[in-house]
Chains A and B, each alone.
Chain A
Amino acid sequence: MVEVKVGLGTCGISAGGYTVYDELKIEKDKNNIDFELKETGCMGMCYREVLVEINDDNGKWLYAEVDKAKVKKIVEDHLISGNPVEEWLVKIGKSESEDPFFEKQKRIVLRNCGEIDPNSIDEYVGMEGYSAIQKVINDDSPEEVIKSITDSGLRGRGGGGFPTGLKWKFTREAPGDKKYIICNADEGDPGAFMDRSVLEGDPHSVIEGMMIAAYAIGAEYGYIYVRAEYPKAIERLRTALGQATEKGYIGKGIFGSKINFDIKIKEGAGAFVCGEETALIASIEGKRGIPRVRPPFPAVKGLWGKPTNINNVETLANIPWIINNGPEAFASMGTEKSKGTKVFALAGKIAKSGLAEVPMGMTINEVVFEIGGGIKGGGKFKAVQMGGPSGGCIPASMGDLKIDYDEITKTGAIMGSGGMVVLDETTCMVDLAKFFLTFTQNESCGKCTFCRIGTKRMLEILEKITLGKGEEKDLDLLEELSYKIKESSLCGLGQTAPNPVLTTLKYYREEYEAHIRDKKCPAHSCAALIEYKVIPDKCTGCTLCARNCPVDAIEGSVKEIHWIDPEKCIKCSLCFQACKFDAIEKI
């Protein structure tokens, strides 16, 4: 039967996915057409939401930017008359050519995202789902499973890059009869949405990954710690857990064995520091999410004092694939020390923002230009920010760098969980460093003095620089503080908080110096250091800018050249955005 799928991840929903879904349903009933209408997760092409895929005898047809008005024509022309509406298509039936956005990707973690209905366990089972857990229970000892994962070369996808197999081995070997497995779904980096898309699009793969991990380490209980800000992900996880329990996949004596396994969902209450393992454990225990000294590591003493293994969503979603396809298949992709694929959330000044999964070893330029379509609006590529508030900026001149844990760490940035924010010439690096530091400063739990007070002092210095009040000695002070914070903080949050400042200082020191010495912001972004001016030759005297100015700082009558009073101007940029003739410039 013909299948019609609507991409209903958070991105699709915010773009109006449910309106399109409902409209399709109305049209279906009204015209009495026989097709199966389904929900699916994120297809990755967030920049062209809402996406609707039609699967018929002639292949897969993917429609982009569908809205209520377009539904009627798609139903009438394509579904009733069999004439696809070509101008709205991104993927055309059986044709071999794929949109370049998909062509260079290799989808392992996202294998089912945007393919299956995340609310249907049967569809997951239809894609080899829950076969990997049965295989390990029937054929493999826990040690053999750990060996497979070690051989695959899989490293933690949450950002740290610790070898997953080794982590499992530590928990397996830790003494104790009760052990826990925790799935860290507290994706808190602003600008990162990989884990959310996996949970929304393929929740069962994460559950199955957890089951395999539990079997390997000898745990009977699992927790999924998921951000409360992800309501759709939580809803689909609950549905998935309910179905798996009903089928007997979770519970007592799973798949005819003597193994018991149960999973609970814990909703995070909004604290970035809870992405750190020991803080996350404290939060599950009902306390303030404050990290503690390690060792003992969670593998030895974790939740409720028992050996605990924590893996991130993407790491776990890889597991069933590795078991089904063999560790060699996984290890055949990537570089010497970074195997498999990595999912990136492409955002910022990029033409095609969305979710892309690429083999490790691909270069940054390939991701930005070949998958992401380059810079939005034709601007010049300046840098990518990787790893969010814990990461750093990699300049465009290093675009040939291969995506690999160790190569990226060498630049001062980190692989991170997969946020890749693309920047162009209009982004001020000092402002960006300030942005991330504002975030970490806010989220510092306050336990370690250097993180609590040091980040505050750094932020004040950056504030000073962006206001044009910076002094030459500030840069040395920033560096000194950075190293002290890194050395004197207990957890990853503090140890990495200075990274955005250090990397921008390393690659864009001249921008800092321009703010300090010349009192200029080269990117024309810092409000205190720019001035708005009317370009007389371009101004037509249309009065639009004057009408938009909230403080009446623009003078001039109809058909006369306008003038901005620098004394009154609050630099809100409204006139700049309103002008239809590009007659206002920032200097």
Chain B
Amino acid sequence: MGENLSKELNLNIKEFKIDLLKNGSDPGALIPLLQSAQDSYGYVPEKVINYISEFAEIPAAEIYGVVTFYSQFRLKPLGKYIVKVCEGTACHVNGAKSIVDMLLNELGIGVGETSDDGMFSLLSVACLGCCSLAPVMMVNEETFGSLTPDKVRKVLKKYRQK
């Protein structure tokens, strides 16, 4: 059943080892499955939740419960540029608030939201791990450190013009 249903739903997920969930042989496989779905789609689509539910005979509500428990999972796609602003302790004491304020102001979206044009998503993270560069943010894979509100404006401008 698994493969047919997967084709029917047009699922294309890398390393989707759903068989591990069959008959409850390895319930621990659920989170890695959701992670690989998110890797492939950028978020966890509803059809994937329903598919896993049907295949492994786990109530969809239970899977939804796991998805919403962990901050890593998203139920909606993200923008082209993902701005992750660090609000870890080191960044906080070095003025992260003024950076967040500037981002809210410039992007016109709240934390966890995506702009209407699909260009930017703004996420807040607890620590990016480069405390010595505080305050820090990342835009996709690029890190920007020792930020000032003005520098934030310049970085965003650069991405808008891309």
Q: Is the interface of B mostly helix, strand, loop or mixed?
A: helix
Contacts of B129 in A (CB 8 A): 10-11, 14, 193, 196, 229-230
Contact B130 A269 (CB under 8 A): no
Please tell me which one of the listed residues B70, B90, B95 contacts residue A353 in the complex, with CB atoms under 8 A apart: B90
Q: Does A161 contact B (CB under 8 A)?
A: no
Q: Does A156 contact B (CB under 8 A)?
A: no
Q: Does B134 contact A (CB under 8 A)?
A: yes
Contacts of A15 in B (CB 8 A): 130, 133, 145
Contact B90 A285 (CB under 8 A): no
Contact B31 A283 (CB under 8 A): yes
The stretch that binds A, out of B22-30, B75-83, B114-122, B154-162, is: B22-30
What separation, in Å, do the CA atoms of A266 and B29 have in the docked complex?
Answer: 10
Contacts of B89 in A (CB 8 A): 189-191, 347-348, 385, 388, 419, 421, 435-436
Q: Does A267 contact B (CB under 8 A)?
A: yes
Q: Does A298 contact B (CB under 8 A)?
A: no
Contact B132 A574 (CB under 8 A): no
Contacts of A286 in B (CB 8 A): 27-31, 66
Interchain nearest-CB distance for B121 vs A (Å): 16
Q: Does B139 contact A (CB under 8 A)?
A: no
Please tell me which one of the listed residues B30, B90, B126, B145 contacts residue A347 in the complex, with CB atoms under 8 A apart: B90
Interchain nearest-CB distance for B56 vs A (Å): 10
- Cβ < 8 Å to A, chain B residues 59-116: 65-66, 69-73, 87-90, 92-95, 98, 101-102, 105
Q: Does B42 contact A (CB under 8 A)?
A: no
Closest A residue to B87 by beta carbon equals A190
Contacts of A285 in B (CB 8 A): 27-28
Closest B residue to A200 by beta carbon equals B129
Q: Does A47 contact B (CB under 8 A)?
A: yes
Instruction: Name, among A47, A190, A287, A289, the residue most crowded by chain B CB atoms within 10 Å (CB to CB).
Output: A190
Q: Does B131 contact A (CB under 8 A)?
A: yes
Q: Does A49 contact B (CB under 8 A)?
A: yes
What separation, in Å, do the CA atoms of A445 and B131 have in the docked complex?
Answer: 27
Contact B88 A269 (CB under 8 A): no
Contact A427 B93 (CB under 8 A): yes
Contacts of B40 in A (CB 8 A): none
Contacts A573-B98, A574-B150 given; does A269 touch B70 at CB 8 Å? yes
Contact B69 A435 (CB under 8 A): no
What separation, in Å, do the CA atoms of A574 and B65 have in the docked complex?
Answer: 42
Closest B residue to A424 by beta carbon equals B93
Q: Does A449 contact B (CB under 8 A)?
A: no
Contact B72 A270 (CB under 8 A): yes
Closest B residue to A188 by beta carbon equals B126
Q: Does A46 contact B (CB under 8 A)?
A: yes
Q: Does B143 contact A (CB under 8 A)?
A: yes
Contacts of A349 in B (CB 8 A): 93-94
Closest A residue to B142 by beta carbon equals A14
Contact A572 B93 (CB under 8 A): no
Contact B130 A46 (CB under 8 A): yes
Instruction: Name, among A191, A228, A385, A445, the residue most crowded by chain B CB atoms within 10 Å (CB to CB).
Output: A191
Contacts of A13 in B (CB 8 A): 143
Q: Does A563 contact B (CB under 8 A)?
A: no
What separation, in Å, do the CA atoms of A435 and B88 have in the docked complex?
Answer: 9
The size of the chain A interface, using a CB distance under 8 A, is 56
What separation, in Å, do the CA atoms of A192 and B89 have in the docked complex?
Answer: 9
Q: Does B127 contact A (CB under 8 A)?
A: yes
Please tell me which one of the listed residues B28, B128, B136 contacts residue A266 in the complex, with CB atoms under 8 A apart: B28
Interchain nearest-CB distance for B124 vs A (Å): 10
Contact A270 B70 (CB under 8 A): yes
Q: Does A108 contact B (CB under 8 A)?
A: no
Q: Does A481 contact B (CB under 8 A)?
A: no
Contacts of B69 in A (CB 8 A): 271, 288-289, 445
Q: Does B148 contact A (CB under 8 A)?
A: yes
Contact A572 B70 (CB under 8 A): no
Contacts of A530 in B (CB 8 A): none
Q: Mark B23-56, 1 if CB is under 8 A from A, else 0.
A: 0000111111011000000000000000000000
Q: Does A7 contact B (CB under 8 A)?
A: no
- Cβ < 8 Å to B, chain A residues 296-312: none
Q: Does A556 contact B (CB under 8 A)?
A: no
Contact A271 B71 (CB under 8 A): yes
Contacts A193-B129, A419-B89, A577-B148 given; does A347 touch B134 at CB 8 Å? yes
Interchain nearest-CB distance for A286 vs B (Å): 4
Q: Does A259 contact B (CB under 8 A)?
A: no
Contacts of A427 in B (CB 8 A): 93
- Cβ < 8 Å to B, chain A residues 326-363: 345, 347-349, 353-354
Contact A14 B90 (CB under 8 A): no
Contact B28 A267 (CB under 8 A): no
Closest B residue to A11 by beta carbon equals B130
Please tell me which one of the listed residues A10, A228, A550 contacts residue B72 in the complex, with CB atoms under 8 A apart: A228
Instruction: Name, among B27, B92, B98, the residue most crowded by chain A CB atoms within 10 Å (CB to CB).
Output: B92
Contact A572 B149 (CB under 8 A): yes
Q: Which residues of B contact A (CB under 8 A)?
A: 27-32, 34-35, 65-66, 69-73, 87-90, 92-95, 98, 101-102, 105, 125-134, 136, 143, 145, 148-150
Additional A-B contacts beyond A14-B129, A578-B150 (6; CB < 8 A)? A11-B129, A190-B87, A348-B89, A353-B131, A385-B89, A423-B93
Q: 30 A–B contact pairs at CB < 8 A?
A: A10-B129, A14-B129, A14-B130, A14-B145, A190-B126, A191-B131, A192-B127, A193-B131, A229-B125, A230-B129, A267-B35, A269-B31, A270-B72, A271-B69, A271-B70, A286-B28, A286-B31, A288-B65, A289-B69, A289-B70, A347-B89, A347-B134, A419-B89, A421-B90, A421-B93, A439-B126, A550-B105, A573-B95, A573-B149, A577-B148
The 9 tightest CB contacts between A and B, nearest first, are A191-B89, A269-B70, A190-B88, A347-B90, A347-B131, A286-B30, A46-B132, A270-B71, A270-B72
